[in-house]
Chain A
Amino acid sequence: MKAINMSRRKFLKTSSVVGGGLVVGFAMTGCSTVKLPIEMSDYGFVPNAFLQITPDNTVRFYCPRDEMGQGVTTGLGTLIGEELDVHPQDMEISFAGVHRDYKNPDFGVQGTGGSSSLKAHYLPLRQVGANTRALLVEAAARDLGVSVGDIATESGHVVVAGKRFPYGQFVGTAALLTAPEQAPLKLNADFRYIGTEFSRVDAIAKSTGTAEFGIDIDIPGMHHAVVIRSPIAGAKLSSVDKSGAQNMPGVTDVIEISSGVAVVAEKYWQAKTAAEKLDPKWDDVALAKVDTSTVRQDYAEAMKNEEGVSDTDEGNVVAGLESADHVIESEYWAPYLAHAPMETMNAIVRIENGEADVWSGTQGIVAAQGLVARFSGIPVEKVRAHSTYLGGAFGRRGTLTHVIEATEVAVASNKPIHLLWSREDDIRNGVYRPASLMKIKAGVKNDGSITAWQAKRVGGNITPKTLENMMPALFPGLGDGTIDFMVGLSRDVFASWVVDHSSVEGLYEDYDTANKTVDHVTVDHNLPLTFWRSVGHSYTSLAKEGMVDELAEKVGMDPVQFRVNNTQNNPRLNNVIKVGQQQMKKMQPAEGRYLGFASHHSFSTDVAEIAEVSVEGNEIRVHKVTCIVDCGIAVNPDVVRGQMEGAVMFGLTAALYGDLDLEQGAIKQSNFHDYPILRMGEAPEVDVIIIDSGTEPTGVGEPGLPPIAPAVASAVYKATGQRLRSLPFKLA
């Protein structure tokens, strides 16, 4: 093992930055007059919202995106460090507070998701780095009495005639100058850090227990809160006898809040133990009549009887199906799923002197700020929102019910509150990946060309639920009635007029055919829904790739060659399939092992995966996965590999185990014994091949997931002759 040079590594500071600060120069969105949330703990130079350089040459990067494990601090640190000529491991990286300059350029709000961060920030953050470097060079030229052309930069220093001067020496002069807005960017050939591998900037903190997550926040006078919620989503409290909990040791308050009953105590375990004494009664809601069998039956009837709303209508599908030599029709099912990040939901809220602080690991800290303002009545500009590391997210930490709860409890108890969900709360009171029933009817000619692709999906939609979550957070001043009206409107629009694209994404795009239709029928049983790693692609990939395997078989073609032939309109996808095909030809699986192949385009990235699988009895075992990915320039190839490895495991958990059942409206599963997650002994070896396509970076957090389930299904078909069309996979 190589020795670690500790002096190179700075630790990520999780203390959020708030309050006043010196603002000079430019900001990303132009000439900003909005005060930055950067607190000047020591004298330094703040040329923009992203950087602070101090006289002792500390370079601090305020990372605008949330670190949930995807490596965004390493990735974005590399972009800004590349142009600034500072090694990402030599920077101190802090999580940014709320400010308009920290908006995600892809979303227009300060949020993290959709595998968007590297793609959205690739040029803007490099530009910030380049402009700042130009400013420092100009300042150095003045201070040293040399011309700009005589100055080079490296590792946080200007270099003049072989002599090195730290950037920090010039910040006083730099603060008086105006930075250029379009300093030239480096040519790819000159990159020092982009495309190279070094360990993640957060690796030391996360290997020593020193990385600070939301759950770790500990402030003076803090009390702990535990909430008992209805087992059925949306049911309101009708009555509760508080006496059982009120007299328990350490308990200070028992409070009715919007989501249930909160117990406040000096310590967490006291609150938890006392809360178990409560037996609240809940109002009746329609969901209480719903079982998983109800959902499946309602979806099946809708699939059969309802036309739905058209998402895509190209060419003439009827004529295409008529011209086919073979027509195949298959249905595919995917269940509701919980995200189950290892850190359960939590938020810390302090309200004092008409001001508030909130700490939480979120996928949009601006939403936490807005919710605290809305539910405390404190103006949004007096709410300081602090980001922490996220102990996993996968889409879950965009919904911040726990911030609302902590705010309500802090207001009612008049105490700083640390509110934590249990694992049971996480699984039973969550927001879920929507269940889906999909049908594809496709035609193929004997020459292997696809003549028509008719797809339909039945299920709930995410977008109206997202509006329901985000509007109160982003517009804390907007009345409840207005929000209800707009959410209701969006629900109607997606049920009757246009398709929520995240419901059908990935169901039809990848393969060539002139005749395609995609229809959608909204059937929603009022279980809360949200994004779940790779969103619609997490279930559509099985239907799309499964159908392609069936078409190839029908015409007696190798399924991988069939994919090569039918992806001519998607050259980058076509290329990863070809590379996968070459890899597969070299593989010689042991006796009893079978290779399955699948590919999928999502979040602007193309991935093919080959799964080596054996079946023993009814048990599916995945031994090895080879993953071919084209995500443009791999800013840190090792982080890309890590994301592919992780997405394979996440997708395998869903393929082999992931299932939630509704029983009279309540989620039946509760913890890892009945909602199992893949463990080390079941984890395959993963080989990742990154295609060096040289184009701008695209997403990596999610695109590794969609191909794994269909790749395993394809291998299982070879092993057993059974087509797996229902998740999670069960062998007959």
Chain B
Amino acid sequence: MIEFTLNGKAVRTDDDPGTPLLWVVRDTFKLKGSKFGCGAGLCGACTMHIDGKASRTCMTPISAVSGRNVTTIEGLGTPDELHPLQAAWVELSVPQCGYCQSGQIMSAASLLNKNPTPSSADVDAAMSGNICRCGCYVRIKEAVLTVAGQSLAYNADEEIKA
């Protein structure tokens, strides 16, 4: 039995400890916003926050998140209450197919938590693990830089306390 915190709620699962967090969140806890893209930590579609840090959960066994704090896209904001990054994503019509965008937004949120005023090169470096096959990179970067420097309604400290 492994216990951890998922979007602020204590959860437990008897899934095999080697099961990647992505599949536990999707199949056991039925949160479908985080996506499978490669299964090898190469594309970032599965990105969630573990203790506030962007992590590739298709490669993270749940044994590694025991007692830790996991946040998914569902924990970041909702359609009725958008996180500033999500609002910028909507405003700039960033998504095309949209499949990678949960992972993109989680990587961006992690970056802004650590570095609220990133340079263009900082954004490139932080987002280089997230592939967008539709090629929405110009807009993703614009959205991140738009939000950068604004006060965020959400931050890593709050996430860990939750």
> B35 touching A343 by the CB < 8 A rule?
yes
**In residues 28-52 of chain B, which contact A (Cβ within 8 Å)?**
28, 30-40, 42-43, 45
> A344 touching B140 by the CB < 8 A rule?
no
Task: For the complex formed, measure the closest distance between the CB of B91 and the CB atoms of chain A, giving whole angstroms.
Answer: 6
List residues of chain A with CB within 8 A of the CB of B28. 267
Q: Tell me whether B128 is interfacial, beta carbon within 8 Å.
A: yes
> B96 touching A215 by the CB < 8 A rule?
no
Task: For the complex formed, measure the closest distance between the CB of B125 and the CB atoms of chain A, giving whole angstroms.
Answer: 7
**In residues 99-144 of chain B, which contact A (Cβ within 8 Å)?**
99-102, 105, 123-125, 127-128, 130-141
> A671 touching B131 by the CB < 8 A rule?
no
Identify which of B42, B78, B98 contacts A69 (C-beta below 8 A): B98
List residues of chain A with CB within 8 A of the CB of B137. 649, 678-680, 683
Q: Tell me whether A204 is interfacial, beta carbon within 8 Å.
A: yes
Q: Tell me whether A199 is interfacial, beta carbon within 8 Å.
A: yes
> B96 touching A71 by the CB < 8 A rule?
yes
Identify which of A249, A269, A685 contacts B20 (C-beta below 8 A): A269
With CB as the reference atom, state the residue of chain A lying closest to B106: A209
> A204 touching B90 by the CB < 8 A rule?
yes
Q: Tell me whether A420 is interfacial, beta carbon within 8 Å.
A: yes
List residues of chain B with CB within 8 A of the CB of A424. 39
Identify which of A1, A340, A394, A420 contacts B87 (C-beta below 8 A): A1
Q: What is the number of residues of chain A that contact chain B, defined by CB distance less than 8 Å?
A: 69
List residues of chain B with CB within 8 A of the CB of A68. 97
Q: Tell me whether A726 is interfacial, beta carbon within 8 Å.
A: no
> A342 touching B86 by the CB < 8 A rule?
no
With CB as the reference atom, state the residue of chain B lying closest to A422: B39
Q: Tell me whether A391 is interfacial, beta carbon within 8 Å.
A: yes
- Give the size category of B's interface with A: 35 or more
> A392-B133, A392-B134, A672-B42 are contacts. A4–B97 as well, Cβ < 8 Å?
no
Q: Tell me whether A70 is interfacial, beta carbon within 8 Å.
A: yes
Task: For the complex formed, measure the closest distance between the CB of B126 and the CB atoms of chain A, giving whole angstroms.
Answer: 9
Task: For the complex formed, measure the closest distance between the CB of A706 and the CB atoms of chain B, giving whole angstroms.
Answer: 15
> A71-B96, A200-B95 are contacts. A677–B131 as well, Cβ < 8 Å?
yes
Q: Tell me whether B4 is interfacial, beta carbon within 8 Å.
A: no
Q: Tell me whether A681 is interfacial, beta carbon within 8 Å.
A: yes
Q: Tell me whether A588 is interfacial, beta carbon within 8 Å.
A: no
Chain A, residues 663-683, CB within 8 Å of chain B (1/0): the string is 000000001110001111101
> B73 touching A680 by the CB < 8 A rule?
no
> A267-B28, A342-B45 are contacts. A680–B98 as well, Cβ < 8 Å?
no
> B138 touching A645 by the CB < 8 A rule?
yes
List residues of chain A with CB within 8 A of the CB of B105. 207
> A208-B86, A209-B33, A672-B131 are contacts. A391–B98 as well, Cβ < 8 Å?
yes
With CB as the reference atom, state the residue of chain B lying closest to A344: B36
Task: For the complex formed, measure the closest distance between the CB of A520 and the CB atoms of chain B, giving whole angstroms.
Answer: 31
Chain B, residues 46-81, CB within 8 Å of chain A (1/0): the string is 000000000000000000000000001110011110
Task: For the complex formed, measure the closest distance between the CB of A204 and the CB atoms of chain B, giving whole angstroms.
Answer: 5
Identify which of A215, A216, A391 contacts B97 (C-beta below 8 A): A391
Question: CA separation between A253 and B40, bound complex, in Å?
Answer: 26
List residues of chain A with CB within 8 A of the CB of B101. 206-207
Identify which of B91, B96, B98 contacts A4 (C-beta below 8 A): B91
> A209 touching B73 by the CB < 8 A rule?
yes
Q: Tell me whether A642 is interfacial, beta carbon within 8 Å.
A: yes
> A199-B90, A199-B91, A340-B133 are contacts. A210–B79 as well, Cβ < 8 Å?
yes
List residues of chain A with CB within 8 A of the CB of B34. 209
Q: Tell me whether B6 is interfacial, beta carbon within 8 Å.
A: no
Determine which residue in B26, B36, B77, B78 has the highest number of CB atoms from chain A within 10 A of its CB, and name it.
B36
Task: For the complex formed, measure the closest distance between the CB of A301 and the CB atoms of chain B, giving whole angstroms.
Answer: 36
List residues of chain A with CB within 8 A of the CB of B150. 1
Q: Tell me whether A639 is interfacial, beta carbon within 8 Å.
A: yes
Question: CA separation between A638 and B136, bound complex, in Å?
Answer: 13
Q: Tell me whether A212 is interfacial, beta carbon within 8 Å.
A: yes
List residues of chain A with CB within 8 A of the CB of B99. 213, 341-343, 389, 391-392
List residues of chain B with CB within 8 A of the CB of A203. 89-90, 93-95
With CB as the reference atom, state the residue of chain A lying closest to B126: A680
Task: For the complex formed, measure the closest distance between the CB of A329 and the CB atoms of chain B, giving whole angstroms.
Answer: 35
> A69-B97, A683-B137 are contacts. A215–B20 as well, Cβ < 8 Å?
no
> B79 touching A671 by the CB < 8 A rule?
no
> A677 touching B98 by the CB < 8 A rule?
no
> A392-B134, A646-B136 are contacts. A202–B95 as well, Cβ < 8 Å?
yes
Question: CA separation between A671 and B45, bound complex, in Å?
Answer: 14
Question: CA separation between A422 and B39, bound complex, in Å?
Answer: 7
> A203-B94, A208-B79 are contacts. A681–B138 as well, Cβ < 8 Å?
no
With CB as the reference atom, state the residue of chain A lying closest to B141: A680
Task: For the complex formed, measure the closest distance between the CB of A607 and the CB atoms of chain B, giving whole angstroms.
Answer: 15
Task: For the complex formed, measure the closest distance between the CB of A247 and the CB atoms of chain B, giving whole angstroms.
Answer: 15
> B82 touching A680 by the CB < 8 A rule?
no
> A207-B105, A423-B40, A673-B42 are contacts. A218–B30 as well, Cβ < 8 Å?
yes
With CB as the reference atom, state the residue of chain B lying closest to A393: B97
Task: For the complex formed, measure the closest distance between the CB of A632 and the CB atoms of chain B, giving whole angstroms.
Answer: 21
Question: CA separation between A646 and B39, bound complex, in Å?
Answer: 24
> A389 touching B97 by the CB < 8 A rule?
yes
> B97 touching A342 by the CB < 8 A rule?
yes
Chain A, residues 285-297, CB within 8 Å of chain B (1/0): the string is 0000000000000
Task: For the complex formed, measure the closest distance between the CB of A218 and the CB atoms of chain B, giving whole angstroms.
Answer: 6
Q: Tell me whether A371 is interfacial, beta carbon within 8 Å.
A: no
Task: For the complex formed, measure the closest distance between the CB of A581 and the CB atoms of chain B, giving whole angstroms.
Answer: 24
> B15 touching A672 by the CB < 8 A rule?
no
Question: CA separation between A680 and B86, bound complex, in Å?
Answer: 19
Task: For the complex formed, measure the closest distance between the CB of B8 and the CB atoms of chain A, giving whole angstroms.
Answer: 16
Task: For the complex formed, measure the closest distance between the CB of B114 and the CB atoms of chain A, giving whole angstroms.
Answer: 17
Task: For the complex formed, measure the closest distance between the CB of A140 and the CB atoms of chain B, giving whole angstroms.
Answer: 33
Q: Tell me whether A2 is interfacial, beta carbon within 8 Å.
A: yes
Q: Tell me whether A268 is interfacial, beta carbon within 8 Å.
A: yes
Question: CA separation between A68 and B97, bound complex, in Å?
Answer: 5
Q: Tell me whether A165 is interfacial, beta carbon within 8 Å.
A: no
Chain A, residues 280-320, CB within 8 Å of chain B (1/0): the string is 00000000000000000000000000000000000000000
Q: Tell me whether A648 is interfacial, beta carbon within 8 Å.
A: yes
Question: CA separation between A537 and B9, bound complex, in Å?
Answer: 52
List residues of chain A with CB within 8 A of the CB of B84. 1
> A207-B105, A218-B30 are contacts. A423–B91 as well, Cβ < 8 Å?
no
Question: CA separation between A101 and B83, bound complex, in Å?
Answer: 40
List residues of chain A with CB within 8 A of the CB of B32. 209, 212, 215-216, 218
Q: Tell me whether A508 is interfacial, beta carbon within 8 Å.
A: no
> B133 touching A209 by the CB < 8 A rule?
no
> B43 touching A680 by the CB < 8 A rule?
no
List residues of chain B with CB within 8 A of the CB of A392. 97, 99, 133-134
With CB as the reference atom, state the residue of chain B lying closest to A672: B42
> B72 touching A342 by the CB < 8 A rule?
no
Determine which residue in A202, A218, A672 has the highest number of CB atoms from chain B within 10 A of its CB, and name it.
A672
Q: Other CB < 8 Å A-B pairs besides A391-B97, A680-B140, 14 of them?
A: A199-B93, A200-B93, A206-B89, A210-B78, A268-B27, A342-B37, A344-B36, A422-B39, A424-B39, A642-B93, A649-B134, A678-B135, A678-B137, A680-B124
Closest 4 CB pairs of A and B: A209-B33, A649-B135, A206-B98, A69-B97
A-B contacts, 9 of them at CB < 8 A, read A69-B95, A70-B96, A209-B74, A224-B27, A650-B134, A679-B131, A680-B130, A680-B141, A683-B138
